[in-house]
Structure formats: structure tokens, C-alpha cells
A and B are shown apart, each in its own frame.
Chain A
Amino acid sequence: MKIKNILTPIAAGILLAAPTLHAETAYVSNEKDDTVSIIDLDTMKVTDTLNVGERPRGILFSKDYTKLYICASDSDTVQVMDLKTKLIIKELPSGEDPEQFALHPNDRHLYISNEDDALVTIVDTETSEVLAQIDVGVEPEGMAVSPDGKIAVNTSETTNMVHWIDTTTYQLIDNTLVDQRPRHVEFSKDSKILWASSEIGGTVSVINVNDRKIFKKISFKIKGVHPDKIQPVGVKLSDDGRYAFVALGPSNHIAVVNANTYEVEDYILVGRRVWHMDFNEDQSLLLSTNGISGDVSVIDISKMKAIKSIKVGRYPWGVIVKP
């Protein structure tokens, strides 16, 4: 009887603790397969592959991780997936060819870049209403909303500009010229600095958000790799403010940049044509999608080395981690 009294709370404790032991999962959009792969980060294996709209690229979670937003570029829509049932529950009017998008900190407004229409579309995810469409440069691509929610930023690949949008008035307030083919933008946590990668220019511009001027331009050089192959795409900043990771496309490397001195400290070898990245929750791991080799590389941040590459679908594009 006594033993039972002791064991019952222990058993209950184990049962209660079980959900917190739940493994982190990574969601990867496979551009060519029209699927999303789910990777268990404990076993480092693909546990499920879900069919979604055509040419899925940008992917995002809602703040509470109950919904997954998918830019289904060739279906001209943003799909909303319920993560419990893994079913598409809604399609949002995204405008044509949505490629990248960003969710406003209010968890409602999606800022979507429409590559073919030179527009940024703002959609309310609850009412599915288009709040505004803003003209930007030719071939808009990168999209970000500052963590303080005041500014949205879009990059246009052909105009080579960073476009600054006021999130209260939905007006274009300024443009900053950067190097050729800007692909991705990322705000620092304090919303004071913006990092913008230029694919053809081969640089990353670091921009002061206050005056919207470039104060540092970072270029890259990898031993044994032709400079033409060094094409910066995805940028990811660590929460501790120490590092910026820059995916260098067909050079098959990720640059580790010191986020304080803006010096490149290291290059990490990953798969072919590395696109985008995301951290796991405690930021001990960084995942990268490698488009041509069709896999996701997992980087151990403490060692600054890729420790594993996991095969996913064809042309993986975006990756996000659910804690």
C-alpha cells in the first residue's frame, strides 16, 4: 500500500512531464515537390511529408504555433494549415506569386511580397481581408517586419532597393539602394539594425534603421570557391546578438559573421545551394535548407560545424522550427 502511495505521484509526475519532453520539429517547404517535410530534431529524421499548394516557398508559424502559413507561389495563395490536424483550413488572398512574407508582431497581419506584380500585399489572417497593396520595386522578394512592429521592409530583386513601409499608414516612406539582387532582410532584435543580403552583389548591407543608411557592407571570400559562386541569400541573427549567419547559395557554405564587429569569423560547409535557415528554441542548432542537394543541414552552434544532413523533398526552400 505504501509503495503504491509513493509510486502513484511519481507516475503522475512522469505523465505530466511527458508533454514537455516533446521533441522539437522542423518544417521544411519543398519547392519542387509541393510538400512540407517534418523533421524530428531528436532523431534527426523526417517523420512526415504533407502535400500543400504548388511551389511552396516562405513558411511561418502563428505566434502560438497552432497554425502554419505557407506561401504557395504557383497557386497564388497563402495557405493556412492547422498544425493539430495537419489540414489546410484556409487560403488567404495573397496576390499573385507570393514568395516571402512576414508576420506582424500583432500575430494578425501578414506582409506578403508578390514577385510578379511588384506589390506588397497586407492581409488580415483572421478576416482574410486585404488591408492594402503597396507598389514597390520590380520583383519584390525579401520581407520583414521590425520586432517593434513599426516598420515593414521589402526588397526588390531587380530595382535593387530596400523599401521601407510604415505599418500604421501602409505607405512607402523611403528606399535604400543596395547591391544587386537583394534577396532577404532581417531585423536585429531591438529593431535598430537591418541586415540585407544581395545575391549577385555578393554582399550583405548592414543598415541603420533610424536614418535608413548603410553603415557597413560585408563581403565574403571562401578558400577554393570562385567568387561568382558566393551569393548571399538567407540571413539569421542569434538572439544573444553575437552572430549573424549568412547562407551563401551555390558556394555551399554559411558565413558566420560577428554581429558586433561585422567581421566574418568562419565558413561552415553545408549542402548544395543553401537558401534559408532557422534556429531551434535554445539556439544550439541551426538548420539550413540546401536547394540542389535536397537536404537540410544541422549545424551545432557550439562547434560551428554541420553535424548532420537530412534528406527531404526536392528543392527545399524555407525552414522553421517548432519548439
Chain B
Amino acid sequence: MNLAASWYCFKGILIREFLRFIQQRSRFLSALVRPLLWLIVFAAGFRAALGIAIIEPYETYITYETYIAPGLCCMILLFNGMQSSLSMVYDREMGSMRVLLMSPLPRPYLLLCKMVATALISLTQVYAFLLIALLVEVEPPLIGYLTVLPALLLVALLLSSLGLLLSTKIKQLENFAGVMNFVIFPMFFLSSALYPLWKMQESSEWLYWICTVNPFTYAVELVRYALYAELQTEAMLITMIATVVFSLLAVTGFNPKKSGR
């Protein structure tokens, strides 16, 4: 594989994703509005609900806003990952994917490029969200904004690989909306994004169990610790393994010919 060619290809895919992102300003806004609604409206009602126990990596009592911020960062990545695979199904239907796949470069590489491009674009949204979150006093240490970067990138890859995997299983664009509801919401709610797992355990042992096998939980915890300049090794390993497994399954299962039409 020629290095210059592969760079050219990656640049092409990144620019294409970026252009699409710029042209769909409403997508950028909706990606931001969703977590902001949670942060500002939902969290306001629960503001005093938390702050009753100290959990790692926090050193003291925190507001609910501070607690859910890392989960909401992952929410942005989750929606973007899914949305990008939605676009994959669209591309497949419209045929633009075939143009891309005409490239002499190996298919796994092309898909990886697509995943990385999506991840990089998602990151800009996460940082925009974190900046706005400062207004409601979600104030991680300054170094946290830097240390969270690799964690966010890994989580973005995890979720776009999951999206890619799903897109290999979906024949039609219409089916995708249903899958989003069956994947996004359970993944988000059955994780530590909105409530600490010990709280979940208090109410239901089996819900707690589901949360502990949900890779999204580890993604959220990885980001939560990284935002406070700490490394949660277990969360990192599980996120990495899940990313590799989903990517392999997606790449091997990807069939550009598969279409509903």
C-alpha cells in the first residue's frame, strides 16, 4: 500500500466528511442541542439529587451537571457514529459508496478512513459542548481537556465501528431508524452516563448487570476519568477490545452490493 496514495485517500474522505458536516449545519446544531437539553433542562431538575456521595474520579461532591457531562460527550459520539453509518446505508443506496470502493486501496483501509474522519468531526462537537458546559459550571481541570482527547478518539472509533457493523446488517434506509431506537437509547440509558452504577444496583441487580456488560458504560467511564486527567485502565482495555471486535466484524461483513433495491 503506497503511503502517499493512502494519505491522499484519507484526506479525500476526511474533506468529504467535513464538507458534508459544514453543509449540514443543522446536523451540527442538533448534535449540540441534544446534549445541551439534557445538561441544562434535564439536569436542572436533578441538580440536588446527586451530591450525596463522592465517587471516583471526583475528589468532592459534585453537581448533577458535572456528573452527566462525560456521558453527554459520549452521547454526541454515539449519535454521530450512528449517523455516519446511516449515511453509509444512504451512500450504498445512492451509489456514491461504489465510487469510493473503486479505489485500488484495500477496503478495510477505506472503512477505517471513514471511521477516523467521522471521529475527528465528532470531536469538534464534543469540544464545543464542553465549552458551553462551562456556563453551567462543569469545570474540569485545564489539563483534562487535553487528556480527554485520546479517550474521546477511542470512544468515537468504538461507536463508529459499531455503527459500521450495524450498517452491514441493515438492508434499507428505513430500517435504520428502528435500529437507532433499539441501539442508541438502550445503550445510553443502560450505562453510567446518567446515574452512577451503585445507584442502579440499589434499584435493580439485573439492570446493574446489563449496565456492567454494556461497552458504552466503559466508554463513559474512560472519558469521565480522562477528563480529570486520570486513566481508568479497565475501561480503556474494554473499550479497545470492543473497538477491535466491532471493526473486524464490520469490515469482514461489509458488502457494498447489499441493497434493498
Contact = CB atoms under 8 A, between A and B. Distances in A.
B63 interface: yes
Given A224-B48, A225-B48, A269 B61 contact: yes
Contacts of B59: 307-309
B61 A252 contact: yes
Contacts of B48: 224-225, 252
B60 A309 contact: yes
A224 B60 contact: no
Contacts of A308: 59-60
Contact of A307 (B51, B52, B54, B60): B60
Contacts of A295: 54
B44 interface: yes
A269 B63 contact: yes
Contact of A297 (B44, B61, B63, B139): B61
B61 A224 contact: no
A269 B62 contact: yes
Contacts of B63: 269
Contacts of A223: 44, 47
Contacts of A297: 60-61
Interface residues on A, range: 10 to 19
B61 A309 contact: yes
Interface in A224-250: 224-225
A270 B44 contact: no
A252 B60 contact: no
A57 interface: no
Contact of A269 (B45, B51, B53, B139): B51
A109 interface: no
Given A223-B47, A224-B47, A270 B60 contact: yes
Contacts of A140: none
A270 B47 CA distance: 14
Nearest to B58: A309
Interface string B55-68: 00001111100000
A312 to B, nearest CB: 13
Interface string B27-63: 0000000000000000011011001111000011111
A184 interface: no
Contact of B51 (A252, A298, A305): A252
B82 to A, nearest CB: 32
A131 to B, nearest CB: 43
Interface string B220-240: 000000000000000000000
A309 B60 CA distance: 5
Nearest to A270: B61
A295 B59 CA distance: 12
A271 B51 CA distance: 7
A306 B52 contact: no
Given A224-B47, A225-B48, A295-B54, 18 more contacts: A223-B44, A223-B47, A224-B44, A252-B48, A269-B60, A269-B62, A269-B63, A270-B60, A270-B61, A271-B60, A293-B52, A293-B53, A297-B60, A305-B139, A306-B61, A307-B60, A308-B60, A309-B54
Interface of A: 223-225, 252, 269-272, 293, 295, 297-298, 305-309
In order of increasing CB-CB distance, the 10 nearest A-B pairs are A224-B47, A309-B60, A306-B60, A308-B59, A224-B48, A269-B61, A225-B48, A308-B60, A309-B54, A269-B51
7 contacts: A223-B44, A252-B51, A270-B60, A272-B52, A293-B61, A309-B54, A309-B60
